[in-house]
Amino acid sequence: MAPSVQVQQVDTSADSITESVKKIALGVGRTGDGTSNFKGGFADSSVDKLPEPTRKRFEKYGIDISRGYPERPPTEEIPVFIDDATAIRNTPWEFIDRGSKADPEKKALLGAAKEVKHLTKHIGTEIVGLQLSELTDQQRDELALLIAERVVVFFRDQDLSPQKQFELGEYFGKVEVHPQQVHVPGIRGITVIWPELFKKFGPITFRKTLNHFTSRWHTDLVHELQPPGITHLHNDTIPEVGGDTVWASGYAAYDKLSPALQEFLDGKKAVYFSANKYVDRENPLKGTVHIEREHPIIRTHPVTGWKSLYVNRAMTSRIVGLEPGESKVILEYLFDVFEKNLDIQVRFNWKPSQPGLGTSALWDNRISQHFAVLDYEGQEPRHGTRVSSLAEVPFYDAESKSQREALGLSLD
């Protein structure tokens, strides 16, 4: 019944265990929790399912999909152990937000647009009549400022190469290169956002979408030492109906709190974790674990100087210094502030006005959460390329103000 082990013959040295774990990781592969894969390259190619608009875009701009699609980093570069994974980008570097150099009136950008539509009062603006690929540096700086103020900015009808998208991302910050996730072949900084790939973990079903890891409120890459500021998702293939994304403003969420709760959270830290999981070298059998990082739970935005509530249901585990039960009820409340106050959200349908063109959303992860609506249930193609521009080490400035305070709006 129970396995018979010859204890005295077992080599239990640290080196031996490390080698055993690597062997298991590569032998078993995916760890079954749907988040990690230690095999790289083109092993899981889904190139034959690539939507036509995406294929045309790649062809037009010289993306080589002849070896497969999408690409994953080489196996030997994918970390197996949590200490190796945590060590990636673990050294601070200096970031200067492009928005800080912009004309506060943003005349070069807004003046050039055919139309500037504020989609709601507190979040979301659509710029009509400009191509992202053709923005001047001055306009880019002003766009960075506009995003910092409006949280998310949209551009429909874009003809945008992956290369240009990457270049714009590099302009805004340091492009994030994921150690494990799939990317556009040949360009490791462009993550592929393609629900077709989720089907490997099981069907996307109507009843369970809310539990699905792809369709829930989250903020990208919060576990990084310097998490992304601007993320730019360009969807080149969009369902005929549905597939909206919803964003919520962290500035406005902060302003929803009572002064007493604001004061309680000001200066506190929370623990944020990665989507992917890795093996604990000291205890390989306890299960793969997330990379964890502490950041201020209230962040100050370096350009606007406004405070923002920096939590999200998917990847914030606890408030530092509280008992587990205390942290749980307060975080649950804060998640609901984002999710239940519809006046601090914008819901966006990606459909372009001209078929064949794509739509871009550029949002600031420092001051937002988002949620991808799966109402099309993976029955229609949707494909996007995402570039995340890493920004500053999150900080809290005790002298900074809330958005409403800074704008002189009523605080009641």
SS3 call for 376 = coil
- Smallest separation (angstroms) from a copy of itself to the CB of 127: 15
**Span 273-302, contacts to a copy of itself by CB under 8 A:** 279-280, 282-288
**Which listed residue (179, 189, 228, 394) binds a copy of itself by CB under 8 A?**
179
Distances (CA, A) of 182 to 29, 40, 97, 230, 384: 16, 9, 27, 20, 12
**Which listed residue (91, 104, 210, 354) binds a copy of itself by CB under 8 A?**
210
Q: Is 314 in the site for a copy of itself (CB under 8 A)?
A: no
Q: Is 22 in the site for a copy of itself (CB under 8 A)?
A: yes
Window of 15-23, 103-111, 229-237, 387-395 that interacts with a copy of itself by CB under 8 A: 15-23
| Six token digits for residue 233 | 């998702």
Distance from C-alpha of 242 to C-alpha of 332, rounded to nearest angstrom: 28
**Which listed residue (59, 200, 326, 395) binds a copy of itself by CB under 8 A?**
326
Q: Is 325 in the site for a copy of itself (CB under 8 A)?
A: yes
- Smallest separation (angstroms) from a copy of itself to the CB of 64: 23
**Span 96-155, contacts to a copy of itself by CB under 8 A:** 118-122
**Span 362-381, contacts to a copy of itself by CB under 8 A:** 371, 373-377
Applying CB under 8 A, the site for a copy of itself has a residue count of 104
Q: Is 257 in the site for a copy of itself (CB under 8 A)?
A: yes
Distances (CA, A) of 178 to 137, 188, 220, 293: 27, 8, 12, 16
Looking at the Cβ atoms of 96 and 342, the one nearer to a copy of itself is 342
Ramachandran sector of residue 321 (left: φ over 0; alpha: ψ -120 to 50; beta: rest):
left
- For residue 196, give the DSSP letter: G
**Which listed residue (47, 55, 56, 88) binds a copy of itself by CB under 8 A?**
88
Nearest by Cα to 72 from 161, 155, 190: 190
Give ∠ CA 195-49-211 in degrees, rounded to 5. 20
